[in-house]
Structure 1
Amino acid sequence: MDKRTITVLLVEDDEGDILLARRMLVNSSQSLEFIVETVQTLSDTVKYLNGDKKFDVMLLDMGLPDSSGVETVQKVKQANQTIPIVVLTGLDDEQTGLLAIKNGATDYLVKNKLSSDILVQTLNFAFERGQAEKTILRERNKAQSYLDVAGVIMLVLNDDLTVHRINNKGCEILGYAEQDILEKNWCDNFVPSEYREKVSQVLKSLLSGEIGKYEYHENPILTKTGRYRLVAWHNSVLRDEAGQIKSILSSGEDITERKEAEEVIKKAYSELESANANLKSMQAQIIQNEKLASIGQLAAGVAHEMNTPVGFTASNFETLAKYFDKFKNLLDMYGKLAGEMPNIDKDGIIARTADIRKTAEDMKMGFILEDIDALFEESKEGLKRVTTIIQNLRDFSRVDKIDVYDDFDIIRGMEATLAVARNTIKYNANVTLEFADVSQVSCNASQINQVFLNILVNAAQAIESQQKGMGNIKIKIYPSEPYVVCEIEDDGPGIPQEYLNRVFEPFFTTKPAGKGTGLGLAVSYDIVVNKHKGQLFIDSQVGRGAKFTIKLPLNRKNSDSRKEMENNGQESHIVCGR
């Protein structure tokens, strides 16, 4: 049977004791072989530990020429945290040995009670324990790596509110290295002064067992640069084998940007409400009523468009909460194992470690680690979609004074209007766009957007009335000096010849009761022809759809264009069959 080889660093300055220890270890066991190297001072010991050669266990005399007592053990542990140390003492004093163990030694032996069997057994036990501790450390580091890939802060606080553990994300957000955070009081160092008392009370309440009340809370944290970051915390507690609460485990999501986004959305809605209020006071009542009617028709559609990304973002956060529970379970298992280590033999440790590995596999931690990034990317995409919808609403609903005209990107205006009306159109028609490069138009943007909306909604509703499935809407924008031309064509049922001359009349409508006010095209005509000195045409034939053509002057102050439009005022709404 192959012998187990144990490499021993014997730290002893007495030649007689060195010779005695070597004799006891040579050929002392059929299953063990000891390779012994000797040093006689603490300084040489430190050099050996920092060198290339690795030792399995150290046999350490506590009385050396350059160090003595428990201080010797402390200095060795500073040089090497992992090597098992068996202390040799000439004092038959149990307290001395226990003090050495308290300061990092694995075991102790009294020289005048030393025998070959005791020395061999003690070194072998120290070796096995050292190997087990290395295994636990590897598994603990693996658990830490799980925490470090999480996109949220993972924080463990001791019962005195000092930091026991924090992951890379937490260090990144705070701006400190891990060693600058560990063992520091969390409230005193990383919570703004004005929030410390409140946060401290929350944490102490958790430690006292009030878990449900404070399972979730929000508070700012203080970064190294002095900035505040708002964090949403999900809290739980870790208990010892007796069931007593010993520490707090918290996951914290940095919601600073989300809260700022919510404020932006609130501000956007406030601006939209203010825009509507200004519109009521500045515009003629007929235009105001039509605008409100259009917004009412589209409100449900816009809400639906926003609910979809908000819904899957909320679902993602529910999934992340479940993943967090699994991380917490694993950490609990490792914590319990670490606490019970002194009372478990080697086989028990190996079995418990295997159980933890099996639990991690059953929890599908590999999949979870891959899925976390995807969940965060999807959530960011959802919030981005909501922001885009809000921006389109703002572009569409910009409010200008009736007599104020600014340069306006008519293509951007059409895109914003399509986005606002998307839910109304998408179930009825496919939209085809043909946009050429055009110059900006001097106009009242809000009013032109309203014209686009009126015509697009009419087209979608006309197609829907056929009950023949999806139709088509074709939009063309192109220059035709001295105008920018916009054509909106649908393949709906068309308009009967007898109604063509009345489509721009106020309150005229062919829609069923409750489907329209009869003001949309009348308002559109007023905006394009009277307010912007442009032209609005309709070309339609029953069974072949309708095409509206809007012509807006590139420079509405151009006297030639103004004269031409005044002379051809009756032609501004040409109607004909195809």
Structure 2
Amino acid sequence: MSVSSNEYRIFNIAGHSFKGVAYYFIYKMFCTIRSEIPILDFEKRQDESIRYKLLTEKAKDIILFVGLDGKILDANHAAVQAYGYTYQELTALTVYNLREPGSLPKNQLKQAQDEGIFFETVHIRKDGSCFPVEVSSSGVKIGEHKILMSVIRDISERKNAEKMLRESEERYRSLIMNLNECFVFSQIILDDEGKTIDFITLEANNAFFETVGLKREEIIGKSALESTPFLKNATPNIFELCGKVALTGEKANFEIYLKDIGVWTNFSSYSPAKGYFVGIFTDITAKKLLLQRLGENNKKLEETVKKLKLTQTQLIQNEKLAGIGQLAAGIAHEINNPLGFVMSNVETLEKYISKLKETIDGYRNAKACLEQKNVQDNYQAIRCITDVETDSKIDFIFEDFEDLYQDTYDGLGRISKIVTSLRNFSRGDQQNEFLEYDLNAGIKNTLIVAHNEIKYYAKVEERLGNIPSIFANGGQINQVLLNTIINGIQAIKAKQSTEPGSICIMTYYENQYVYCSIQDNGIGIPKESLNRIFEPFYTTKKVGEGTGLGLSISYDIIVNKHKGDITVDSTVGVGTKFTVKLPVKIDTVSEIMEEGKYEDTHG
């Protein structure tokens, strides 16, 4: 049987002819039909048939025409590609060949014929591989006979996407269910005024169930006030906070104390949809208890620090007094010298005053004679006055008065200076005061206190540069200077040289810091001791000659209290050089100098 390009043949099926050219292509579906009727020429129907055929062939979905017995009567190009058969092979099969054995229900073809059917199943390719499909099948009447037209869509991509989605959902669900933090998803309940009064728990994870000590069925779908009544007394009000999140969509993070069960939680919440909120609770009870203990311990530590500071203040003061105590004999000698000649001058003045009194008495007697107008007595009175002036050396006394007073003032000034210096060193009421301080003046003051100790063993060279004042605790800096100078004197004494030693004190300004170096030519410090000299109670001196606190206190004063630095260079047998570095300004005090006011004077 053949069909030319200019004519169509209409076949008879059980005595019925096809009505309409649109049915022409179904010819292939009925290749078993044997009888034939004459060709009719219907050009209009030919065009409709061609368009219908093109539509079928161009469709991306699989289209099969199936007999009621399951025989595949026709298939489009998409079907040939999808199943991997040739057209001839495919139309020789039944739909049973495309399904796994026993997977096609007996009544499915009849159901499709009677009312149409839509379902998902799995089809088998020629190579035995399977792929998921979505089938829409319905009956089509041809004359007195019916066939099935099935539109089949490969849903592999969708199934893969659904699988991935399910796996993703399962992963996230597993993640949420196994979180250490409590997870809850709830819907709020409002009263007539729109105020949140409760919420229904729609989902929660295992951590939440364990924390509240309830089973899943006791919480999910239940009122929070009924299932977890301890939330009612939470601080702050969890219903108001969660209601605000659910209604406004604003995220929130806050701490909640569930005082009925003694639990602290950190609560983070957001709203996925209006009227709903997701909450994540993190149990921070242990953290809160730890912080509470830390607070208590900190309070104890603060009290301990106060006591330590008091002890430190006492140690510093004791060390200061101990340093002055070492100089006590020398200081006493320094005071005794001016005091000796002041006392001598006072004794001399006492004698002078006695003689002046005798002279004045003579003048009074002469006055009385003159008043009596006795010439002989007047003459005698004048001779007496002359003798008194001569014996009393009145002229010498008047000449010596000025020197006596000047020497006395000088002596008292020296005593006052020494006493003032001692008072500055011994005062303990300015331990924490930072005031404007002149380092050069501090050095001079310290040298006065240590003068008697120095003058027998060393000569001091002062090379004090042009440096700015700094903000510092003057008493503390003076103590560092005294400790360092005394150490230098003791190092010179220990050298036992027949020649007097030397101490060179130099100050200079550089890069917003003032420097003071104190260099002696004493015995020096062994290399193995240099790294330990600032340790508390460490000393290289003999027992009884030092406490080991002087340099430790000096380090604390310079480095910790004044944010400066103190370094040491020493060579055994040559001498030692201490260098103190102090900032002109520090964070805890105001700036007191304009930049560029002073020039570097080092070198």
| TM-score, L = length of structure 1 | 0.45
Instruction: Work out which structure has the larger RCO, using CA pairs closer than 8 Å and 6 or more positions apart in sequence.
Output: 1
| TM-score, L = length of structure 2 | 0.43
**Structure with the higher helix share, 1 or 2:** 1
